Structure 1
Amino acid sequence: MVVLAASVVTKAGKVLVSRQFSDMPRTRIEGLLVAFPKLLGTTEKQHTYFETENVRFVYQPVEATYLVLVTNKHSNICEDLDTLRLLSKVLENSCSLDEEGICKKAFELIFSFDEIISLGHKENVTLAQVEQFCGMESHEEKLQKLVMQKKINENKDAMRRKAIEIYKSKIDRSKSGYLD
């Protein structure tokens, strides 16, 4: 199986999120995805896939959008459908299924797509594993957050000390007869 792209497309053909897994020009993938709703209207409604001259579209309607896998024609349709099911579960668990919710979570979706598909081939992972992998934090990230918080706290302390110093100097000047 070779997945060329995994995408979320509106029924009007607007691409919301797309992850490309092959060496194809971006314009080619965009052209395929924009043509998808038009091609969909010409197919039988009982299937969730259709083929063109060069590629196969495997899709699933999700609210007002379609989750679309663009694969080569020689890929295993059963594996494609299994991949599509897992991508659909990730999409449903990651965000609200409207256009705005999908766009807000675009990077999280792309990272999840990358965990499911690697170099165009489906990885042997479950939904729980994908969520675990995407939710993991690195030790370096935690250290960086601690260093940043320490710097913020030090700056706050320095600002407090400076404010107290300024306040004391004003009190000293007012006692000596100088008014600001």
Structure 2
Amino acid sequence: MVLIAATVCTKSGKALVSRQFVEMTKARIEGLLAAFPKLMTGGRQHTFVETESVRYVYQPLDKLYMLLITTKASNILEDLETLRLFSRVVPEYCTQLTEAEVLNQAFNLLFAFDEIVALGYRENVNLAQVRSIVEMDSHEEKIYQAVRQTQEREAANRMRERAKELQKKTIGSSDWAATTITDVIR
């Protein structure tokens, strides 16, 4: 199976999130995506549509479509299984299946898409594995966060100490001024 692209699009064909998995020009991908809504006329009940060059495998998600563009030589059963996984990933990250929510969660969706497919071929993963990989914290990130928190605490402590010093100086100088005025009056 060679998966060309995975896209979450509107029923009118507007791509919200799209991930290309093989070398192809932007114009070619845009052309393939633009052709999809035209093929959907007639209220089809199937989950795929073929053209002379590619196969569109899709599943409705409320007012959106989860769309896979594959080569015609790909195994349709594998395509459908991959589509099912993609269709389960989208609601995992989007609490509501709306354009705004998909756009808001675009990076998480793209990361998840990358875990499902590599170089056009499906990886042997399930939804739980995709979820844990996308949410996984790296060791370097944890170290960076710990160092950053330590630096922030040290800076806050220095600011408090400096504020105390300034407060002592202002109190001390006002005492000095009060003493000087009292001495002048005597």
Normalization by structure 2: what TM-score? Answer: 0.91
**1:51 counterpart = 2:50:** yes
* Cα offsets for 1:15-51 (capped at 9, x unmatched): 1101100000122112211221122115x61211111
- The match for 1:125 is 125
Per-residue deviation, 1:148 = 0.6
- The match for 2:167 is 167
Per-residue deviation, 1:9 = 0.5
Q: State the alpha-carbon separation in 2 of the partners of residues 74 and 117 from structure 1.
A: 17
* Cα offsets for 1:86-114 (capped at 9, x unmatched): 00011111112111111111111111111
Name the SS for the 2:67 alignment partner.
Answer: strand
Name the SS for the 1:69 alignment partner.
Answer: strand
- The match for 1:91 is 90
Per-residue deviation, 1:11 = 1.2
* Cα offsets for 1:103-126 (capped at 9, x unmatched): 111111111111111111111111
Structure 1 ranges of 4+ moved more than 3 A: none
Name the SS for the 1:70 alignment partner.
Answer: strand
* Cα offsets for 1:121-142 (capped at 9, x unmatched): 1111111111111111111110
Name the SS for the 1:176 alignment partner.
Answer: helix
* Cα offsets for 1:58-110 (capped at 9, x unmatched): 00010111100001111111100000000001111111211111111111111
Percent identity for Structure 1 against Structure 2: 51
Name the SS for the 2:89 alignment partner.
Answer: helix
Mapping 1:2-151, distance limit 5 Å: 2-41=2-41, 45-95=44-94, 96-151=96-151
Which blocks of at least 5 consecutive residues in structure 1 are unaligned?
none
Q: State the alpha-carbon separation in 2 of the partners of residues 104 and 46 from structure 1.
A: 30
Q: State the alpha-carbon separation in 2 of the partners of residues 34 and 101 from structure 1.
A: 22
Which blocks of at least 5 consecutive residues in structure 2 are unaligned?
179-186
The total of aligned residue pairs comes to 177
Name the SS for the 1:101 alignment partner.
Answer: helix
Name the SS for the 1:8 alignment partner.
Answer: strand
Normalization by structure 1: what TM-score? Answer: 0.94
Structure 2 counterpart of 1:24, one-letter code: M
Structure 1 counterpart of 2:166, one-letter code: I
Structure 1 counterpart of 2:106, one-letter code: A
